[in-house]
Chains A and B, each alone.
Chain A
Amino acid sequence: MGLFGSFFAKFSRNKATPEDLDEFRRVLIESDIGAEFTDEILKLVEKERSEALAEKVTECILSSLSQEPRTIALVPERVTTILVVGVNGTGKTTSVAKMAKRFKGEGKKVLLAAADTFRAAAVEQLTTWGERIGAPVVVGKTNSDPASVAFDAATKATAEHFEILIIDTAGRLHTKSNLMEELTKVRRVVEKVTPIDEVLFVLDGTTGQNGITQARTFMDAVALTGLIVTKLDGSTKGGIALATERALKIPVKLIGTGEGEGDLEIFDPATYVSNLLTQP
């Protein structure tokens, strides 16, 4: 198991030095999983000195995560509606496009809604993506009510028998309560037409501990069902994904792993944790 393979081996034979422990702590902290979670894992390491330490640590992390399914369940008889939310600049629009591309690849009929009526050119950004992917996009005017765009899209999706509707919303800092209310309204209005099946929170993989606070506030406003963690294509460990999932018990469903249209994967916690522990 790479670097930590040797570390775990040392530990299980009681040969680890305090420096080794410090090094392990450094890697955990620097992955952004948070000081508290790190301390918990280190306690386990100190206590558990068996051959199976690596497995024990992996298990400890995995068991603290959500047990909910990580796939996006499609509803066969009506349109499956996905609302995508998050703070500014996390990659919502790109994630919406990648998701649409993925569903299109599975032969689904996909409709997109550009309910980000605030940021300059956000609508155009999604429209460009829609053209590339071949999915129609419902748009509104800049600064029009995002709820009305979402409502129009939901109506269209139902009337024209789309299988999937993905609604892109404007990025908003969780500290702006009026904007959070706007989001609640989008949800309320769409649900007059059709139920919302997934509310996905897009979390920037480079975010620090503030990510948990962000997700919690969005959770209160629109009841999240899952996370999309973006920008995991660099050296970024994205430990905040685990920390957030652990704190809120909502599963990471998808991860953005690159700049290409196809760079969106279903999150596999086991692989992720093993990478976290093996790569320095």
Chain B
Amino acid sequence: MFESLSEKFSSAFATLRGKGRISESDIDLVAEEIRSALLDGDVALSVVEKFVARIKERSLQALPEIRKSTNQSQEIYSIVNSELVEILGGPARRIRFAKNPPTVIMLAGLQGSGKTTLAGKLALHLKEQGNTPLLVAADLQRPNAVTQLTLLAQSIGVPVHAPEIGNGVGNPVSVAKSGIELAKTKLFNVVIVDTAGRLGIDEELMKQAREIKGAVSPDEVLFVVDAMIGQDAIRTAKAFEEGVGFDAVVLTKLDGDAKGGAALSIAETTKKPILFASAGEKLTDFDYFYPDRMASRILGLGDIATLAEQAKKAIDGDTAKRLEEKFVAGEEFTLEDFLEQIQAMKKMGSMSKILGMLPGANSAAMRKQLDAIDDDELIRTQAIVQSMTPKERRDPKILNGSRRSRIAKGSGRTVTEVNNLVDRFSAAQKMMKQMRGGKIPGGMGLPPAMASGISGGISGGISGGIPNLGSPANRVPPKKKSRSGNPAKRAIEEGR
């Protein structure tokens, strides 16, 4: 298993801590660690060399300040992070719409990088923003790529232009052209052209892509890359840039545990922005690409920003406000609130996906815990709570044996499961009381309750943390606690 860069980093610094004063050779040592971590993260060698050289240079320049700092590893860590964000491309860019519709978006990429699925996701995304997209099935190569796109289009309610059945038959250039014509007459404002996957060296298919591009003159050519790609990323990106030419990059399969070093390689080599990040099998698993979040991922810091955003999206403003008021007023947190939260959590996606965004989620130990999470648990928990009467939900103390066995029957679960839930709930309640008193248990690490049974820990975390996200001023100030020895953890604690 690969150690995350943050783990390697902290081990490199463990020896330095006792010294008190960092020397130039210590920087070399750390640079070596960064180098091997980036290589393990599939960043292309040439990019790694350049990157490490820059880090060394900046660290040496900043050495006097670093020495003054009380937290030397954190200083170098911030240098690494800011360099990463810079290469990954500053603030996220959006799709450029044409002045005269339709806006034409063409997808190109290697076989199996996820173009067709992405076409569906992008169409849904654009539709949700009030556009009228049209999908064009110009991958006539792969058996049933056309059928796949047609089915995807149906499921999201987006029209598809698929005049040829594909499977090696038909001319993709004329399909693309007639697609644009159709969009013009039927007034679709965006056209997404799915093309056949190709190999970097395949000149014939490359030529075909060039011809499609020439025929439809797209406003955006998106190069679709699998986040798991290795050292080939650069060669492939270059081949596509020379062979077809592209304007921006989309990273797919980010729901795996690959570090996604390819993002760094491609951004550095082609200087093209990365527009979107696709992470998941559902068509809604799609988001803009945020350089700072990707940097955190490469560094193994987790994706707190996305997590917070999804939580905000899932919990509607009123509920959040009401919960927050309750919390501040010192009212008891009830099973009814809990049920509401479960429903909100279900909107955010699977539990393992949510927790996978936490820092350290890709470490071996954490992965094991994540694996142990049963995503159906949420549904079962919900069933149990729904089988309770409103009175029971408000006051779980009245749950005697006969009530519990009725609830078990009603929800189709065992009495033991009902008992467990009630126990976990009271633990969560207790935790909330402590939080109100200013004692926040644990850092950003998983509270034990979260691993053994999601409900207790999460409900505490969500109600205590998320409703406050919009208005940090209202937050009950946590008691100052000791700083974590792990730079990754500390960065989170300090809100960097």
Contacts and interface: CB of A to CB of B under 8 A. Distances in A.
Contacts of B247: none
B111 A240 contact: no
A204 interface: yes
Given A88-B112, A88-B253, A235-B200, A204 B148 contact: no
A210 to B, nearest CB: 4
A80 interface: no
A128 interface: yes
B257 A208 contact: no
B152 A120 contact: yes
Nearest to A142: B151
Dominant SS at the B interface? loop
Contacts, number: 144
A124 B147 contact: yes
Given A29-B45, A177-B352, A209-B41, A89 B114 contact: yes
Interface in B80-131: 110-114
Interface in A200-237: 204, 206-211, 213-214, 231, 233-237
Interface string B130-153: 000000000001111101101110
A34 B41 CA distance: 10
A128 B143 contact: yes
B71 interface: no
B256 A206 contact: no
B219 interface: no
B230 A235 contact: no
B230 A207 contact: yes
B2 A209 contact: yes
Contact of B113 (A89, A174, A178, A208): A89
B356 interface: yes
B42 A208 contact: yes
B2 A213 contact: yes
B148 A121 contact: yes
A175 interface: yes
Interface stretch (B231-239, B293-301, B386-394, B404-412): B231-239
B267 interface: no
A30 B147 contact: no
Contact of B144 (A121, A204, A211): A121
Nearest to A236: B232
Contacts of B63: none
B258 interface: yes
A26 interface: yes
Dominant SS at the A interface? loop
A87 interface: yes
Contacts of A89: 111-114, 226, 253
Contacts of A128: 143-144, 167
A217 to B, nearest CB: 9
B110 A35 contact: no
Contact of A206 (B114, B230, B371): B230
Nearest to B41: A209
A209 B226 contact: no
A252 to B, nearest CB: 16
B45 A26 contact: yes
Contacts of A120: 147-148, 151-152, 155
**Centre residue among B1, B141, B229, B259 by max chain A CB count within 10 A:** B229
B199 A233 contact: yes
A233 B2 CA distance: 28
Interface string A27-39: 0011110110000
Given A91-B112, A121-B147, A209 B42 contact: yes
A80 B1 CA distance: 34
B457 interface: no
Contacts of A214: 228, 256
Interface of B: 1-2, 36, 39-42, 44-45, 110-114, 141-145, 147-148, 150-152, 155, 167, 199-202, 226, 228-233, 235-236, 253, 255-259, 261-262, 281, 352, 356, 367, 370-375
